[in-house]
Amino acid sequence: QVHLQESGPGLVKPSETLSLTCIVSGGSITSHYWGWIRQPPGKGLEWIGYVYHSGTTNYNPSLKSRVSISVDTSKNQFSLNLTSVTAADTAVYYCARDPAIWARYWYFDLWGRGTLVTVSS
Amino acid sequence: QSALTQPPSASGSPGQSVTISCTGTSSDVGAYNFVSWYQQHPGKAPKLMIYQVSKRPSGVPDRFSGSKSDNTASLTVSGLQAEDEADYYCSSFAGNNIFVLFGGGTKLTVL
């Protein structure tokens, strides 16, 4: 059974880079697209981006200038970097799986538990 | 691109039915059958309830159903139960520039 687990610092200073990793266990990271979604406290969900094991990425246009998502197939994990963070980037960050094989269905059937990242000095 | 529009709240008594709407545009909800719905209980990760407008994942009760008309998708919960009380979010593919949009969420209260 595939399991996703986010990891990374819970506190990041303003203007610095937020870096998170999602470890995929119980299955291979190849053949699926993987995504990051975030949720500010008390607010709704926001899609951040997708990555494929080939390195292909798609990003939310509103975040595109600051975000990068990469994949490490040897470690079966993918990562999120968000630069120049502000308090508005404070959120629970989720990693998730698109269930399509070698394609995208544009929804997520498997989610990590999420990790809260606070941007504060 | 704005988020999809959902009512902030909805409610119903146990056993009743409630429908939550999700309004987009002809560039997202109206253009593609890639509408999905998620249920989120407090402090938990979202759970997929409906995908591709009206399909239910294995394990989701058939009390949950989805539909779409023009630019508006809907989630109907029939035979409301206490455990259905949660936040519900819709999502849609929005083309190869915007990609994925979420709605603002609807808090469903079981009275």
Taking the CA atoms of residue A77, residue A82, residue A87 and residue A89 in that order, the dihedral angle to the nearest 10 degrees is -60
User: Residue A109 and residue B48: Cβ atoms within 8 Å?
Assistant: yes
User: In chain A, what percentage of residues exceed pLDDT 70?
Assistant: 100
CA angle B47, A1, A47 (to 5 degrees): 35
d(CA A103, CA B45): 24
Q: Which residues of A touch B93 (CB under 8 A)?
A: 106
Which residues partner with B48 through β-bridges? B38
Angle A94-B107-A115 from CA coordinates, rounded to 5°: 15
Q: For residue B83, what is the DSSP state? A: G
Among A58-62, A66-70, B48-52, B93-97, the least confident range: B93-97
Q: Are the C-beta atoms of B4 and B92 separated by less than 8 Å?
A: yes
Q: What is the pLDDT of residue A104?
A: 85
List the end-to-end C-alpha distance of chain A, in Å, as a whole number. 39
Kindly report the nearest CA distance between residue A75 and chain B, in angstroms: 24
Share of chain B above pLDDT 70, in %: 99
- Pick the residue from chain B with its C-alpha nearest to A4: B45
Cα A41 from chain centroid (whole Å): 17
Mutate to test the interface with A, among B28, B33, B99, B107 (most CBs of A within 10 A): B99
Q: Hey, of A107, A113, A116, which one would you mutate to test binding to chain B, going by the most B CBs within 10 A of its CB? A: A107
In this predicted structure, the answer to whether residue B2 has a pLDDT above a threshold of 80 is no
pLDDT band, residue B84 (cuts 50/70/90):
very high
Q: How far is the CA of A36 from the CAs of A59, A114, B81, in angstroms?
A: 10, 10, 31
Q: What is the pLDDT of residues A58-99, one digit of tens each?
A: 999 999 999 999 999 999 999 999 999 999 999 999 999 999
User: How do residues A5-52 score in pLDDT, each as one tens digit?
Assistant: 999 999 999 999 999 999 999 999 997 999 999 999 999 999 999 999
Record: contact B51-A60, CB cut-off 8 A: no
| CB proximity list for B68: less than 8 A, separation 6 or greater | B29, B33, B35, B53, B54, B74
Pairing status of strand B106-110 against strand B9-12: parallel
The mean predicted confidence, pLDDT, of chain B is 96
CB contact under 8 A, A44 and B3: yes
Q: What pLDDT sits at residue B1?
A: 58
At A3, the pLDDT band (50, 70, 90 cuts) reads very high
User: CB of B15 within 8 Å of any CB in chain A?
Assistant: no
Which among B51, B100, B104 is the nearest to A47, CB-wise? Answer: B100
Q: pLDDT band for position A103 (50/70/90)?
A: confident
Between CA A40 and CA A112 the distance in angstroms is 16
